[in-house]
Amino acid sequence: MAKQSDQVHAPVGGRLFTPMFFGLGLLVLVAGFFLFNRFVFGLGSVTNLSDGYPWGIWIAIDLVVGTALGCAGYAVALLVYILNRGEYHPLVRPALLASLFGYALGGAAVMIDLGRYWQGYNMFLPWLSQYNSVMLETALCIAAYITVLMVEFSPVFLERLGMKNIRRRLDKVLFIFIGLGVLLPTMHQSSMGTILVVLGHQLSPLWQTQLLPLLFLTSALFMGFAIVVFEAVLASVGFRRPMEAFILNKLSTVMAWLLLGFVVVRIADLLFRGDIVLAFRANLDALMFWVEIALHVTALVLLWPRRIPASPRRMFLSASTMLAAGAVYRINCYLVGYHPGDGWNYFPSVGEIMVTVGIFALEIMLYLVFVKRLPVLHTVDRAYREEHAAQAREGGAAAVGQAT
């Protein structure tokens, strides 16, 4: 394994207050308006939540999909530090940043959604802890992981502030946090699947299985990798930087295997239980099931390893399809496949949608501010370009400079 000792990070620079910044800011303000109403008049005044559908998109999308998008740091840390694939190192910091925002805002969404948020701290009181609750495990794990992410990302601040001593001291124990940073998402991402097992017959057999934890863990991993690719392509286009095409192309192979594993287990489980017949009925469940499967298979086809490295366009397309596939699977599990009984229905209200949009807008805003002002992305200098070219030649790939 080649030593990756020459990765230096630097702020991208540039104006903060771009038209895009103000556009996103406007969306955040709109979300703020609805949140004001939620806290003054109650959840019912803003959301379409009911006793039939007590959980809506703030849980299904903001938390369950949002934290999966936040698995970038998990996936890359696993690859770089545990499997020792040092060549992926330039992806670590942007991935950690995406994770930090994904999880912090997912956690914020939960606080907004909690009906008795002022007692939310009860989760952390050991004498109230109920250890059979999958949610307790998930919540504590997520809270711990947000802390771990802050520690993992703190070198960026320390570097910016020139605090080299603390930085060196932190470095001595950082490996513990890296270990935790892989353990905790393994636990809570699988648990987000286990959370649904207790729903029993209320969740359609198309999704209800004891394999939910395994399926959620796998989808978290491939969504984590997909968001890394997604961001890398956007960053290279947006900031006119060379793209880590070679690295990303190799990543595609990892993703393809994970995706294949997911699809095989998913279908085998349905065949084994015999519940696949439900997929051939004329209803929303069956339709959404096929949308979910079609997205997974499309992503798999787009990703399938080939000799010629994929173009940035193709990589972006496959990553987006994967993200959509994982998101639809999660929404199917948490909302579409849930049947509380006759007379109940749910579709998110404008307020719910705008709060979700606002949270994602805030995430993008913060991401832009961070990469422009803090050393998150690696510096693009001559040495870096040369090394990349060498790597590409070594691997027989020629797609490195494509985005430049």
Contact status: 382 vs other proteins (CB under 8 A): no
- Cα separation, 114 vs 109, in Å, equals 9
In the DSSP assignment, the letter for residue 65 is: I
> Binding segment for other proteins among 15-23, 27-35, 172-180, 280-288 (CB under 8 A)?
172-180
> Binding segment for other proteins among 63-71, 111-119, 317-325, 364-372 (CB under 8 A)?
111-119
Site for other proteins in 36-75 (CB under 8 A): 39-45, 47, 49-52, 54-55
- The residue (of 319 and 361) whose beta carbon lies closer to other proteins is 319
> Binding segment for other proteins among 25-33, 167-175, 312-320, 362-370 (CB under 8 A)?
167-175
Strands (E), 145-282: none
| Contacts of residue 189, Cβ cutoff 8 Å, sequence gap at least 6 | 67, 68, 71, 74, 216, 217, 220
Closest approach, Cβ 364 to other proteins, in A, equals: 28
> Binding segment for other proteins among 11-19, 113-121, 232-240, 293-301 (CB under 8 A)?
113-121
- Cα separation, 176 vs 166, in Å, equals 16
Quick check: 278 and 204 in contact, CB under 8 A? yes
Contact status: 147 vs other proteins (CB under 8 A): no
- Cα separation, 332 vs 348, in Å, equals 14
- The residue (of 84 and 280) whose beta carbon lies closer to other proteins is 84
State the binding string over 238-277 for other proteins (x if CB under 8 A, else -): -----------xx-xxx--x---x---x---x--xx----
- The residue (of 163 and 353) whose beta carbon lies closer to other proteins is 163
Contact status: 174 vs other proteins (CB under 8 A): yes
Contact status: 30 vs other proteins (CB under 8 A): no
Contact status: 180 vs other proteins (CB under 8 A): yes
- Cα separation, 46 vs 87, in Å, equals 47
Helix, strand, coil in percent for the chain, rounding step 5: 75, 0, 25
- Cα separation, 402 vs 245, in Å, equals 8
Closest approach, Cβ 64 to other proteins, in A, equals: 13
Contact status: 151 vs other proteins (CB under 8 A): no
In this structure, what token pair is assigned to residue 385?
């370009």
Residue 30 CA, chain-centre distance (Å), reads 24
Contact status: 318 vs other proteins (CB under 8 A): no
In the DSSP assignment, the letter for residue 250 is: H
State the binding string over 191-230 for other proteins (x if CB under 8 A, else -): x--xx-xxxxxx------xxx-xx--xx--x---------
Residues in the chain, overall count? 404
